[in-house]
Amino acid sequence: MRLSLVSGNPAAYRQALYTPIRVTRPELPVRAAEQLRVEADAGARPAPPPPAPMAAAMAPAPRAFRMAEAAPPAAEPLADLPAATAASAAGRVAFTLPGPVTIRGGETANLPFLDARLPAERLWWVQDLAARNPLNAVRLRNAGDRTLPDGLAAVFGADGAEAGAYLGDAEIRAVAPGDQRLLAFARDRDVQLSAASSSSERPVKAEFRRGVVVVGTLRQEEVALAVDPRGGKGRLVVDLPRRPGATPRFAVAAEGDFGLRHEAMLEGGPQTLRFGFEREGRREAPLFDAGLGDPILLRWRELDLEQNLRRLPGGPDSLETLRGVLEGLPAAAPGRETLAGIVGGMAEARRLLEAAHGAIRSYAAAEAALGRARAAAEDRTGAEREEARRRLNQASLAAERAGGAADAAWEAWQRAVVAVLARTG
């Protein structure tokens, strides 16, 4: 009889047909150490295509460094075993033993089928930035010529006080020749971790369309990881989640299901690792509320200026917003010169709008005086009526002059608005 050991991914189930079904009671758990859960390393994948650069002046991300591999520790040779024949196909790995296998009924047997020495490196691994301590792990590289199947590995120490001691179990995902995997087997409670996040945004360019300034922004997001190895020295591997739409500005050693992988060396003392991301964005700063219509066509007599002042070019807030953008733009930023001209034009529009506002309020006061004079002229008789008519004529002339002044001030403001809008295209 010949025996083949096959590793694949079939769906298989079992059902306890003869097991008695009992109603379970609530169980009071025994308080013990936390259960360690580790996401198995599935290996690196090709990186997704990067987004188009926003500007030529943007600094490129630093290059990822190469992994330094530790030499495999020396070990006592095992007894010579006949090698099993390995065969790989899509989704499966098979090892066929070279000789017949005989097992009597009711017995089991452990049969070695692979003996290989592989290079490994001891390191710390951070899968969760919120964790207080990193994982103890080894980096295993398949230096052989056959795929290693999925399975479990028992990790034993090789040096010092750990020599020969059981350290923990780890899950291995299939490893093709030349690939590598991280195997986490415990949590190192001596090494302390603490993470914090921050973000900021600044304008980097300005574009224009009629009545609107389009501000290009660069959002910078950072995760700072403080590490205290308490005298320990070695390699630290940190896996960070991807941030869609953001470009990492730190050395990325690999990408995969784990996200973005960074590696650093710890030299025994506390240090802080910073992981920056940059994200391009945009926001619009309109010069006026388009819901009012074209400001060039507005007539002040048909507009409630007190209610709509903020919605007009030069009104409150719009100028302050543009000034803030201008102050934050770098000196050589695209569109800065045009924006400076718009801010200057808006400041002039603000001055003229305030003048028009004052002239319109004066006209409103003159109109109110005219109404009172008209009412007085209708109520008077005799000599008093003649005096009331004289005052009515004066009030009418004053209202006419105030209306003409308001018309002139409004037209001056509209000419300033035309000049500003011409700069936005």
Q: What's residue 55's pLDDT?
A: 38
Q: Is the pLDDT of residue 60 over 70?
A: no
Q: Which helix (H) or strand (E) holds 248?
A: strand 246-248
3-state secondary structure of 283: strand
As given in the structure block, the two tokens for residue 296 are 């060039």
User: HSE (CB half, 13 Å, CA atoms) of 292?
Assistant: 23
98 or 409: which carries more pLDDT confidence?
A: 409
Give the integer Cα–Cα distance in Å for 115 and 91. Answer: 22
Q: What's residue 66's pLDDT?
A: 31
DSSP 40-109: PP--B-PPPPPPPPS-TTSPPPPPPPPPPPPPPPP-PPPPP-PPPEEEEETTEEEEE-SS-----TT---
> Taking a C-beta distance cutoff of 8 angstroms, is the pair 184, 176 a contact?
no
> Taking a C-beta distance cutoff of 8 angstroms, is the pair 253, 67 a contact?
yes
* Helices 336-379 and 382-423: angle between axes, nearest 10 degrees: 170
pLDDT of 33-53, one tens digit each?
Answer: 566 677 777 777 655 555 444
Give the integer Cα–Cα distance in Å for 206 and 339. Answer: 7
Name which of 232-241, 266-275, 371-380 the model is least confident about. Answer: 371-380
Q: Is the pLDDT of residue 277 over 90?
A: yes
Which has the closest alpha carbon to 349: 424, 250, 245? Answer: 424
3-state secondary structure of 158: coil
Residue range 339-356: mean pLDDT, rounded? 96
Give the integer Cα–Cα distance in Å for 211 and 209. Answer: 6
10 Å Cβ neighbour count for 396? 15
Q: Is the pLDDT of residue 311 over 80?
A: yes
- Distance in Å from the first CA to the final CA of the chain: 86
Q: Which helix (H) or strand (E) holds 305?
A: helix 305-308
Q: What's residue 160's pLDDT?
A: 86
- Sign, Cα dihedral of 44, 48, 51, 52: positive
Pairing between β-strand 180-187 and β-strand 135-141 as defined by DSSP bridges: antiparallel
Give the integer Cα–Cα distance in Å for 317 and 340. Answer: 17
pTM: 0.70
Proportion of the chain above pLDDT 90, given as a percent? 59
Q: Is the pLDDT of residue 237 over 90?
A: yes
- Look-up: residue for tokens 């190469």? 66
- Look-up: residue for tokens 């350290």? 167
Q: Is the pLDDT of residue 13 over 60?
A: no
Give the integer Cα–Cα distance in Å for 215 and 203. Answer: 6
Pairing between β-strand 166-172 and β-strand 271-286 as defined by DSSP bridges: unpaired
- pLDDT band, residue 8 (cuts 50/70/90): low
- pLDDT band, residue 76 (cuts 50/70/90): very low
Give the integer Cα–Cα distance in Å for 146 and 113. Answer: 12
Q: Is the pLDDT of residue 75 over 80?
A: no
Q: What's residue 378's pLDDT?
A: 82
- pLDDT band, residue 105 (cuts 50/70/90): confident
pLDDT of 153-173, one tens digit each?
Answer: 889 988 888 898 999 999 888
As given in the structure block, the two tokens for residue 6 are 């096959």
From residue 40, give the alpha-carbon distance in Å to each of 9, 132, 156, 174.
16, 20, 19, 11
User: HSE (CB half, 13 Å, CA atoms) of 160?
Assistant: 1
Q: What's residue 100's pLDDT?
A: 86
Q: What's residue 328's pLDDT?
A: 94
As given in the structure block, the two tokens for residue 211 are 């009545």
Pairing between β-strand 120-126 and β-strand 233-240 as defined by DSSP bridges: parallel
As given in the structure block, the two tokens for residue 113 are 């089928």
